[in-house]
Structure 1
């Protein structure tokens, strides 16, 4: 039985990814930043094949813990960077754990003789830090794919900036190490939607769906989304987990970073679909998903599918 290590494997995307690997017959090692808080990961023990699940304490800042975590793993998925929109100290809460954590991980993984595949769960922010708005050099009527020039701005949200820099760190590592003994690939999902597998209340993706469903604006940023009726590109969390699995088990993807996206809808229409109402607008496809379809074989669900699942 092959072993996969999932850093961040109990979060929103991570839980679905854990489920995916367990169903495919893998031994799954999931990290827990605080093993004394079982409410963060207990839901995973209810998954099919959970007898092949292992919960391991890990803080990505701790290099010795990282070494122990990846030991015995043939595949390692790194999705353990913080996703938060509200913060007090951007450096301490976003930049350091995201960028330093990525640097530490790359340093330790490069010493491994067992790992064959590494997958980074990046973000559309790796391509556009102004998401959900179009990148500065594009209009809403345009399209965007992996071959377009990435866009970043210091005026963007610190979370997005941190994810952009982390992705650049991975790209530079690949360039600086042309003879790696393992492959690295990344996936960059847009706004991830769908039903969580747990009752955790710290999921930003689930939280945003709750806000849109109930038309709540807890801060000026979310209020701005309502005021401008911003257009959001969305992707089903189940499609994301499948893409992560395919990225981790398919050879020949070294250096690739796949945009994971389905339809784009305005916030007012997202709210309508979350309330089982008919949207007034029409779907767009700003972010193109041809590469993920071709290389990973993903058939992306239309937006109403995960939104309906969330509200079910």
Structure 2
């Protein structure tokens, strides 16, 4: 049996990735930031084939611990960067663990024999740090795909800036090391939605869905989304996990970065669908998923199905 190491494998997206690999009979090693916090990973031990699952504590800032985590893996998935919107200290909460953590990971991986594939879970912010606002001079209705020039701004949210810079680190690493013995591929999901596998209440992804469903605005950032009825490109969490599995187990994708996205709806219609009501407007396609559909064979769920699923 092959072994996959999933950094952040007990999080909102990571849990579904863990399930995908267990379902396909991999040995799965999952990291958690605190092994004493069983609420972070207890939902994983009830999955099918959980006898092939091992939970390990890991701090991505610790290169020795990283080396120990990846040493016997065939595939490594990096889904362990923080997703925080209410930021008190951007440097310590976001920039250090996201950027330095990525640099540490790349340094460790290149020194580890036997690894066949590395997959990074980036973000739409790797392409546009203004998301869900348009990139640069684009409008809300202008389409965006992997052929567009990535856009970043120092005015963007620190989370988005950190993810953009981390992706640049990965791209430069690939350029600087043309003869790697393993492949590196990346996926960049838009707003990831759907039902959480865990009962944790500290997930930003599920928390944002809760806020939109109930029209709550704990800060100016979220209030601005309502005030402008901002359109969001949405992707189902299970589709993201499926794409990660496909990327991880398909050869010949070195250096690729796939946008993972389905349909776009305004916040008012997202609120309606999260409450099992019909949207007033039809879905639009802003962020395009042609590359993922063509090369990975992913058929993305309609956003309505995804948002209805959260409210079950």
Query: Which bracket does the TM-score occupy, shorter chain normalised?
Result: over 0.9
Q: Which residue does the alignment assign to 1:174?
A: 174
Q: CA deviation at 1:278?
A: 0.9
Q: Which residue does the alignment assign to 1:17?
A: 17
String of CA shifts for 1:170-222, please: whole Å, max 9, x gaps.
00000000000000000000000000000111211100110011111111111
TM score, norm. by length of structure 2:
0.99
Instruction: Write the distance in 1 (CA, Å) between the matches of 2:53 and 2:243.
Output: 21
Instruction: Write the distance in 1 (CA, Å) between the matches of 2:170 and 2:262.
Output: 25
Instruction: Write the distance in 2 (CA, Å) between the matches of 1:152 and 1:270.
Output: 26
Q: Which SS does the other structure have where 1:93 is aligned?
A: helix
Instruction: Write the distance in 2 (CA, Å) between the matches of 1:37 and 1:151.
Output: 38
Q: CA deviation at 1:114?
A: 1.0
Moved more, 38-47 or 162-171: 38-47
String of CA shifts for 1:138-157, please: whole Å, max 9, x gaps.
12221110010000000000
Instruction: Write the distance in 2 (CA, Å) between the matches of 1:19 and 1:64.
Output: 27
Q: CA deviation at 1:137?
A: 2.5
Q: Which residue does the alignment assign to 1:244?
A: 244
Runs of 5+ unmatched residues, structure 1: none
Q: CA deviation at 1:131?
A: 0.4
Q: CA deviation at 1:303?
A: 0.1
String of CA shifts for 1:101-139, please: whole Å, max 9, x gaps.
000000000011111000000000000000001101212
Q: Which residue does the alignment assign to 2:235?
A: 235
Instruction: Write the distance in 2 (CA, Å) between the matches of 1:140 and 1:157.
Output: 18
Q: Which SS does the other structure have where 2:235 is aligned?
A: strand
Q: Which residue does the alignment assign to 2:93?
A: 93
Instruction: Write the distance in 1 (CA, Å) between the matches of 2:105 and 2:44.
Output: 24
Q: Which SS does the other structure have where 2:169 is aligned?
A: helix
Q: CA deviation at 1:32?
A: 1.2
RMSD over aligned Cα atoms: 0.6
Instruction: Write the distance in 2 (CA, Å) between the matches of 1:297 and 1:112.
Output: 31
State how many pairs are aligned. 312
TM score, norm. by length of structure 1:
0.99
Q: Which residue does the alignment assign to 2:295?
A: 295
Instruction: Write the distance in 2 (CA, Å) between the matches of 1:52 and 1:150.
Output: 39
Q: CA deviation at 1:28?
A: 0.5
Q: CA deviation at 1:74?
A: 0.4
Instruction: Write the distance in 2 (CA, Å) between the matches of 1:68 and 1:130.
Output: 37
Q: CA deviation at 1:57?
A: 1.2
Q: Which residue does the alignment assign to 1:41?
A: 41
Q: Which residue does the alignment assign to 1:201?
A: 201
Instruction: Write the distance in 1 (CA, Å) between the matches of 2:205 and 2:35.
Output: 23
User: Which residues in structure 2 correspond to 1:83-232 (within 5 Å)?
Assistant: 83-232=83-232
Q: Which SS does the other structure have where 2:36 is aligned?
A: coil
String of CA shifts for 1:61-111, please: whole Å, max 9, x gaps.
111111110011000000100000011110000000000000000000001
Instruction: Write the distance in 2 (CA, Å) between the matches of 1:284 and 1:31.
Output: 37
Runs of 5+ unmatched residues, structure 2: none
Instruction: Write the distance in 1 (CA, Å) between the matches of 2:4 and 2:115.
Output: 9
Instruction: Write the distance in 1 (CA, Å) between the matches of 2:300 and 2:289.
Output: 8
Instruction: Write the distance in 1 (CA, Å) between the matches of 2:222 and 2:33.
Output: 29
